[in-house]
Structure 1
Amino acid sequence: MLSAKKPFTLLLFLSVSACSSYQSKHGLFDSPSHNQAATNEVSLEQTGQMPAAFRKLEEPPKYFAAADLLSVPLESETYTISEDAPSNGRFAVFAIKTEDGAYTVQGRQFMEDHIHELNALAVLRERNKAVAFAKSAGTAVITPIKSVYTTVTAPVTAAKNVYGNAKGMVKSVRKGVGKAATFVKTRGNMPQETAEREEDGFISGFFGRPDAIRKIAFEMKVDPYTHFTPLRDEMTELANYHAAGQFGVDQGLGFVPGVGSIIISGLKTADSLTKKTLLKDPEAMADINRERLAKAGIAKESTEPFLLNAHFTPTEKTIFTGLATEAKDLEGIDTLMKHASGAKSRPQAFAALMQVEMLGRLHESSKIKKVEVHHDVVVAYQADNTANIVLPYDYLSWTSYNAKTIWKVTRSLAAKDVKTRDVRFVLAGDLSKNSRKALESRRWGVKRNLIADLL
């Protein structure tokens, strides 16, 4: 079963590139389907008649003021966040403008994390002086260009002045990477995006120091394999300086405002093998993860689709693997992994990871014994037979779609003889008055703000 001594925690380096508008393959975010919602509103067939109270309580999604949701300022040298944050009934949607472009981020948790990525990016750009790429005998050579600029009064502005050369460098290198990617083994049906991310052996031929990139990322508390390409580009540039002997990685780092990737707490509770695996290159990480899951007896048909899913980073796959092996005796662990593997967008992947964190917290207090998935919703059973419907939402509004989804899930549980008094809804965030009225009208329990300390 899950360890009772330490939380079943996943919170580490979840890159929030999660729900931006998709720019292009080489745009701000390299994960496909960034503009998809965390949950797709597919057609729901009714099983029985929904209670009249459900329909009467239906409401539009809540409209938030961004300042009321976020712990960070709405404006800084590096970004501007719109004052309005509409909701889709489950997650708040934030509009943000940066020097790299304008896009949206879905989810309060996503946004807090992404702001840390932007802060890390600003620090790296400040550190990375202009770099010029020269080609000699077909080999990329790094030549530092000395430039004098003031970082005291306007560090970000200073960084912008020298970033033009860096962009040229990135463009040149990407051409080479594009060609090299054709030689990357794809492990059969591995998506091309995954192939490029899961193997950094060819990257070292162009960037020289993937190990240095990992060191930089971990020290700055961001994912070295983040889908946010500007940040990854800047980590690469700093690693190249290190490889060229210009300065050590430690010297290139500075204070990054913020608490770090929201989910940094996971590093403290991760098992030793998981921590060691995180220091490996992605290909080695994938091999170790496969071996660990196989030894844990978790069915390959559940684990392989997850390990090949491009919407999760190698870091997240490794953390998830560590948690799954610790929970190998949990009934339904195969089902949980299969559910996660079905993520069709970065937001959906993030939601799956949030659910794992929520399960860990529930287990600490209530000892989870079994996990099921009903209509794409995770249900966790306690030893006392309480069926916890786990919803990783910022805020549950009683929209027509949410009402239908909840009715379908609860009808499915009733068909398994789960008593009404044993049903409890567990939310990451909060819920509307109408949502509470609807749930309590059926005598279902409600637990809100399960991870409010992170939200």
Structure 2
Amino acid sequence: MLSHKIHKRALGFVAAATLVYGVSLVSALDEPFQQPPLELIASDFLPKSVLSGEGYAVDERVVNDGTQNTYTIKSDYGVLTVTGGYALLARIQEIKATRALEQLKDSDEFKDAAKGAVTGMVEGGKALWDEPVDTTKAAAKGVGRWLSNIGSSVTSEDPHQDNAFETTVGYDVAKRGYAVAMGVDPYTDFEPFQERLGEVASATAAGAMVTSMAINVGAAGSLVGTAATVTRLASMQNLLKDNPPSALTKLNRETLLAMGIGGYQADALLKNYNYTPAEMTMICEALKWMGDITGREIFVAYAASAPDRDVAQFLQHYAEMLSDYIATVETGDIVDISGNAWLVSRSGSLVGAFPIDYLAWVEGVAETTGAASEYVSGHGIKRKELLLKGKVSPQARAALENRGWKISENVRLASPADAASS
């Protein structure tokens, strides 16, 4: 049985049942719920170009928990499962990048670089002790920064933190650079990619640059708007490439404090290691792009409580959708409704902009949108809207429209990050 954890987060952690004149909203309207898990078809959500490619094929059977799809990928690296369309596209990108790295291993350029890598790493490491002053200047571009990076590698509890020796010889710098260049999160948990990336980085760390490493693996298919993560990675390429996790954490904390987030709240979010350092940076940047609004501390608290990777990835993309709406459609303020982060636009709309794959009419959705409707009634808000990155079931559309909701599906919002990188 598929867990309901994503749909509980997607429109909240299942708010307490909304009561209207002492009668449950759900029972009063007496509409039948859909019962998850729902079985859907992948080709109803993905174009042919994404469904299959070199080294992988997406199984047509999809399981949905009321909001998010769980896909199965049959690949050269085994059978893989991912939850969320954004996670599917990221995994496909990683598969393509892994295959590209494997093909590179047979090239003469790689073989020549690899020959010098071991000698270069040994000599480079030896020089740090034999000639510490000059070598450190050349290797670190600032003693304080280098020592900080090394110290963090030794003492940090962050599981994504670079290894101390690998930080010293530049191995992790190379890994980050190549991953970002290929549109992949440097801290992905996809082991085949990390293994191939490590082999390539070893050939580069001692200065034996492999010029063909800047591999253009392309975005995952031609699904409009779904390569947002690749675009955002590119827009922050230097930030992610040049900074180890410890430095990113420091920069992200400064970003959060600058927008008025309390130190304890910032630390609670930053110490949630269900997010990769890249995902955490994207959340902090998305919050910054929201500009002069109130309520960002509500989203920070919401994101800090992510209990696992699936929810963390959902909330990263949720932050980006909210940020894109605020920056390119209409500004507003974040409000807390029964423990969930919603947006109230300046023109008087309650807006939920969610990276949901398929919204079904399930009890959690009914209760959470019911709580939102009650908030609207009590605060003089004019309209209530749901903007979904995916689709909505006919049952959910009928039920929600009967309750006064305006629903938009397959929403693609322009991104300030995209504009900055164009």
TM-score greater than 0.5 by the shorter chain: yes
Partner amino acid for 2:405? W
CA 1:388–1:182 in structure 2 vs 1: closer, same or farther (change >3 Å)?
Answer: closer
**Structure 1 residue 220 corresponds to structure 2 residue 178:** no
Partner amino acid for 2:292? D
**Structure 1 residue 383 corresponds to structure 2 residue 346:** yes
**How many angstroms does 1:128 deviate by?**
2.7
Give the counterpart of 2:201 among 230, 239, 242.
Answer: 239
CA 1:431–1:140 in structure 2 vs 1: closer, same or farther (change >3 Å)?
Answer: farther
Aligned to 2:337: 374
CA 1:375–1:275 in structure 2 vs 1: closer, same or farther (change >3 Å)?
Answer: farther
Aligned to 1:38: 6
**Structure 1 residue 82 corresponds to structure 2 residue 59:** yes
Whether the 8 Å CA contact 1:335–1:373 is kept in 2: the answer is: yes
**Structure 1 residue 184 corresponds to structure 2 residue 154:** yes
CA 1:281–1:346 in structure 2 vs 1: closer, same or farther (change >3 Å)?
Answer: same
More displaced 10-residue stretch of structure 1: 196-205 or 299-308: 196-205
**Number of equivalenced pairs:** 365
CA distance in 1, matches of 2:325, 2:152: 45
**Structure 1 residue 92 corresponds to structure 2 residue 69:** yes
Whether the 8 Å CA contact 1:124–1:253 is kept in 2: the answer is: no
Whether the 8 Å CA contact 1:429–1:452 is kept in 2: the answer is: no
**How many angstroms does 1:76 deviate by?**
4.2
Give the counterpart of 1:337 among 289, 300, 304.
Answer: 300
Give the SS at the match of 1:222: coil
**How many angstroms does 1:328 deviate by?**
5.6
Using structure 1 for the length normalisation, give the TM-score.
0.70
Within a 5 Å distance, the mapping from 1:38-437 to structure 2 comes to: 38-40=6-8, 45-48=16-19, 49-52=24-27, 54-61=29-36, 62-71=38-47, 72-128=49-105, 184-186=154-156, 192=157, 195-204=158-167, 208-243=170-205, 247-259=208-220, 262-266=228-232, 275-276=238-239, 278-327=241-290, 329-414=292-377, 416-419=378-381, 421-437=382-398
Alignment RMSD: 3.5
Using structure 2 for the length normalisation, give the TM-score.
0.75
Whether the 8 Å CA contact 2:321–2:413 is kept in 1: the answer is: no
Aligned to 1:450: 411
Identity of aligned residues (%): 23
CA 1:372–1:328 in structure 2 vs 1: closer, same or farther (change >3 Å)?
Answer: same
CA distance in 1, matches of 2:386, 2:216: 40
Structure 1: tracts of 5 or more residues without a match? 1-20, 22-34, 142-179, 187-191
CA distance in 1, matches of 2:97, 2:191: 13
Structure 2: tracts of 5 or more residues without a match? 124-149, 222-226, 416-422
Deviation string 1:361-388 (CA, Å, 9 cap, x unpaired) is 3224542221023234321011111111
Aligned to 1:148: none
Whether the 8 Å CA contact 1:297–1:328 is kept in 2: the answer is: no
Give the SS at the match of 1:334: helix
Deviation string 1:39-90 (CA, Å, 9 cap, x unpaired) is 4486753231114575424223543221232233544442232221121111
**How many angstroms does 1:239 deviate by?**
0.7
CA 1:348–1:69 in structure 2 vs 1: closer, same or farther (change >3 Å)?
Answer: same
Whether the 8 Å CA contact 1:36–1:345 is kept in 2: the answer is: no
Whether the 8 Å CA contact 2:282–2:316 is kept in 1: the answer is: no
Deviation string 1:309-330 (CA, Å, 9 cap, x unpaired) is 1121112222322333344631
CA 1:107–1:50 in structure 2 vs 1: closer, same or farther (change >3 Å)?
Answer: same
CA distance in 1, matches of 2:165, 2:374: 51
**How many angstroms does 1:337 deviate by?**
1.3
Give the SS at the match of 1:384: coil
Whether the 8 Å CA contact 2:7–2:65 is kept in 1: the answer is: no
Of Structure 1 and Structure 2, the greater helix share is in 2
